[in-house]
Amino acid sequence: MGLRYSIKTSALALIGLKVLDRPREVLKRAADAGYDAIDVSGDPATITPKIARQMARIAASFDLKVSAVGGAWGAWQVGEERDLASSDDAARTYAVGYAEKCIDLCVHLGAPSFQLCAAPFRPQYPFSSVPIDTLRRNFVRSTKEICRYAAERGIDIGIEPINRFEGYPGFLNTVADAVSVVEEVGDSNLGVMVDLYRANIEDPSVCSAIRTAGTKMMDVHLSDSNRHAPGTGHIDFVAIIQTLDEMQYQAYLALGILPATRDVETIRQGVLETSLSYMKQLERGLALQKSVYRRRTDLALPHSHPDRS
Ligand SMILES: [Mn+2]
């Protein structure tokens, strides 16, 4: 089926491969590991247009595309408030401005899409201090502004639902929430990014999250239930690959592991060795199943059983 794989630059940084410090060496390592693309962390304050264009050129020299720019929305990532759902209009506008700078970064990098989240500055668990309707109204307004800016530059926007611990409990936690916001905004350049680790926490099942996103799905963010390498947790990747195959999914699976362990050697293996080989072995397994069952139209593939969805 030939899925395409991208690697987040933030995952490479976990093992000391910082793309801004040593772009040629780091991008070569990503290409040698078998990735098709990189997913660049949204840091427009550091990645100037010149640096971005240079990064894209070096990536292209190794046959790597730039699949997306990922938003740094969490306060832990940047230490400042970037809250698209804020009722403080100055704070909300500041977050929209950050998104616009990241959209410019997409243009310089040749990345087709940028990712949005609704992330409060302070944790809200277990209940949001702001009514859900208010959060939604603010977020929809921000998203409309961002989509307009992005459309003028040929960039797509993907909303990534996040769990109650990182986001707002009750708002934009599930893929169904994200799809309903996409439908309300109604812009054609707006879709959903499905993060498997996060969908595993809040959605009915990871495969149902993927099906719910359907044709609105942009990239899939790849990690297991423990946010470590695929195969180390309890997400059913056979069922996921089969679901993506049935949907004729064309975009990327972007590896974004962030395990609790700080053991650099196991993270290195996950980033550079095991994740891709594991996924590609499962793809080969599915191809074998399909060839066995091709002539037996009376039989469903083993993993098509409804219990697996
Ligand atoms: Mn993600």
Provide the pairing of β-strand 37-41 with 65-70.
parallel
Q: What residues contact residue 2 under an 8 Å CB cut-off, 6+ apart?
A: 283
Q: Helices (DSSP H) in the chain: which residue ranges?
A: 9-14, 23-32, 49-61, 75-78, 89-109, 132-151, 175-185, 196-202, 206-213, 237-246, 264-269, 275-293
Give the count of domains, the chain: 1
Which pair of structure tokens corresponds to residue 118?
């609704």
Q: How far is the CA of 160 from the centre of ligand 1 (A)?
A: 7
Q: What is the pLDDT of residues 120-160, one digit of tens each?
A: 999 899 999 999 999 999 999 999 999 999 999 999 999 99
Q: How far is the CA of 221 from the centre of ligand 1 (A)?
A: 5
Q: How far is the CA of 118 from the centre of ligand 1 (A)?
A: 12
Q: What is the pLDDT of residues 52-96, one digit of tens each?
A: 999 999 999 999 999 999 999 988 888 899 999 999 999 999 999
Q: How far is the CA of 224 from the centre of ligand 1 (A)?
A: 12
The dihedral over CA atoms of 4, 308, 221, 216, expressed in degrees to the nearest 10, equals 80
Residue with tokens 């500055």: 121
Q: How far is the CA of 2 from the centre of ligand 1 (A)?
A: 22
Where residue 172 sits, what CATH number does that domain have?
A: 3.20.20.150
Burial (CB count within 10 angstroms: exposed 0-12, middle 13-18, buried 19+), residue 272: buried
Q: How far is the CA of 166 from the centre of ligand 1 (A)?
A: 12
Q: How far is the CA of 290 from the centre of ligand 1 (A)?
A: 30
Q: How far is the CA of 194 from the centre of ligand 1 (A)?
A: 7
Q: How far is the CA of 114 from the centre of ligand 1 (A)?
A: 11
Which helix (H) or strand (E) covers residue 124, if one does?
A: none
pLDDT (mean) for 290-307: 65
Q: How far is the CA of 71 from the centre of ligand 1 (A)?
A: 9
Q: How far is the CA of 265 from the centre of ligand 1 (A)?
A: 22
CB 279 within 8 A of CB 253: yes
Q: What mean pLDDT is reported for the chain?
A: 95
pLDDT over threshold 90, residue 161:
yes
Collapsed DSSP state (helix, strand, coil) of residue 267: helix
Q: How far is the CA of 12 from the centre of ligand 1 (A)?
A: 15
CA atoms within 13 A on the CB side of 119: 22
Q: How far is the CA of 256 from the centre of ligand 1 (A)?
A: 7
Q: What residues contact residue 137 under an 8 Å CB cut-off, 6+ apart?
A: none
Most distant CA pair in the chain, distance: 62
Residue with tokens 């996921």: 240
Q: What angle do CA 23, 260, 234 make, to 5 degrees?
A: 105
CB 273 within 8 A of CB 25: no
Structural domain harbouring 88: 4-308
Q: How far is the CA of 154 from the centre of ligand 1 (A)?
A: 22
Which pLDDT score is estimated for 1? 67
Q: How far is the CA of 288 from the centre of ligand 1 (A)?
A: 30
Which pLDDT score is estimated for 295? 65
